[in-house]
């Protein structure tokens, strides 16, 4: 079977019409700033932040078939009622640990392959897959298609190994550089990582965990709390359509607009959650 592999562009992108995002980008920065400000001024943020992180961890991994309560994640119980329940909980906790460890390390270190591999290793810890695939770049061709599909049924093939390694190096350099705006830079880095698809599995979870870490590193937010998994989950079909269009039609600007809308919606939604939590905390005293 002859396959057509994706060849992601070299970053930074040169053909993006940055001015076309001016209004939407301004709204995104304003929403993020309001969200960040309420957390900076909250006396109870040490209570609120773990709840927000737990919600992100659940959204990043959960589906309709795998529900785990927020209370259980925050309290971190040792085991579930059933083996499957405990396994789902541990996946969520591994994601949370990877995000927290990444945020701690990025304070004094640049983005590096070692950091990304370590985060992947934590996210996929104890996964029932080939151990050589955990915490390592892929060493063979992978593909994307319907769950459990064969290669013949796939609709997207990431780059070959040579291109993958070249592009992941370029991607890391891009993360550590400064583009015209950090929010758009993250939008581009997000889509590029998924196009490169450097892991056999969990590429989406790794890059979603990197969103709050990136904004924290770039000092766009005071804490690693810019979470978008819930928005991507609610808008799953559009999310995949926009990402596919980036690689098949080079429609970067449509993806960037979608990403900016995600920032606006989720920062506003989480700001309200924080306000509600703070009110409940005050009422409980």
Lowest pLDDT segment from 136-140, 146-150, 194-198, 222-226: 146-150
The pLDDT assigned to 149 comes to 83
pLDDT at residue 10 greater than cutoff 90: yes
- Of 151, 156, 250, the residue nearest 196 (C-alpha): 156
User: What rounded mean pLDDT belongs to the chain?
Assistant: 89
Distance of CA 20 to the CA centre of its chain: 25
The pLDDT assigned to 89 comes to 87
Residue 283: pLDDT band by 50, 70, 90 thresholds? confident
CATH 1.10.3290.10 holds for 18-284: yes
pLDDT at residue 64 greater than cutoff 90: no
The pLDDT assigned to 43 comes to 84
Residue 81 or residue 161, greater confidence: 161
Residue 65's alpha-carbon distances to 62, 80, 129, in angstroms, are 8, 16, 20
The pLDDT assigned to 65 comes to 42
Residue 67: pLDDT band by 50, 70, 90 thresholds? very low
List, in order, residues 6 or more apart from 170 with CB less than 8 Å away. Answer: 10, 11
The pLDDT assigned to 178 comes to 93
Model pLDDT for residues 68-111, shown as the tens digit of each residue: 444 545 555 444 444 456 778 888 999 999 999 999 999 999 99
Could you tell me if 241 and 155 are in contact, meaning their C-beta atoms sit under 8 angstroms apart? Answer: no
* pTM reported for the whole predicted model: 0.91
Residue spans per domain, the chain: 18-284
What's the CA gap between 193 and 134, in Å, rounded?
17
What's the CA gap between 71 and 59, in Å, rounded?
14
What's the CA gap between 171 and 202, in Å, rounded?
18
The pLDDT assigned to 123 comes to 96
Residue 283 or residue 215, greater confidence: 215
Model pLDDT for residues 196-207, shown as the tens digit of each residue: 999 999 999 999
The pLDDT assigned to 84 comes to 58
Residue 257 or residue 79, greater confidence: 257
Percent of the chain with pLDDT over 90: 72
The pLDDT assigned to 285 comes to 65
- Of 205, 214, 270, 223, the residue nearest 55 (C-alpha): 270
Averaged pLDDT, 137-155: 88
Residue 173: pLDDT band by 50, 70, 90 thresholds? very high
């Amino acid at each position: 079977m002859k396959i057509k592999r994706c060849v992601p562009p070299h970053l930074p992108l040169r053909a993006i019409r940055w001015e076309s995002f001016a209004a939407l980008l301004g709204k995104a920065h304003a929403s993020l700033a309001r969200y960040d400000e309420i957390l900076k001024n909250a006396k109870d943020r040490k209570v609120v932040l773990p709840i927000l992180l737990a919600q992100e961890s659940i959204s990043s991994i959960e589906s309709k078939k795998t529900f785990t309560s927020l209370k259980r994640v925050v309290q971190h119980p040792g085991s579930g009622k059933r083996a499957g329940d405990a396994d789902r909980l541990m996946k969520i906790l591994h994601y949370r640990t990877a995000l927290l460890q990444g945020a701690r390390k990025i304070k004094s270190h640049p983005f590096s392959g070692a950091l990304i591999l370590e985060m992947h290793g934590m996210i996929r810890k104890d996964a029932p897959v080939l151990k050589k695939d955990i915490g390592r770049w892929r060493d063979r061709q992978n593909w994307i298609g319907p769950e459990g599909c064969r290669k013949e049924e796939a609709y997207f093939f990431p780059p070959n190994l040579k291109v993958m390694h070249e592009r992941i190096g370029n991607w890391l350099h891009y993360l550590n550089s400064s583009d015209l705006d950090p929010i758009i830079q993250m939008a581009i880095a997000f889509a590029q990582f998924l196009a490169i698809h450097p892991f056999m599995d969990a590429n989406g979870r790794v890059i979603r965990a990197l969103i709050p870490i990136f904004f924290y590193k770039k000092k766009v937010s005071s804490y690693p709390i810019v979470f978008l998994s819930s928005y991507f989950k609610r808008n799953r079909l559009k999310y995949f359509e926009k990402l596919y269009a980036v690689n098949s039609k080079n429609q970067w600007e449509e993806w960037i607009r979608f990403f900016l809308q995600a920032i606006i919606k989720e920062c506003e939604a989480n700001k309200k959650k924080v306000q509600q939590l703070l009110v409940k905390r005050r009422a409980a005293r």
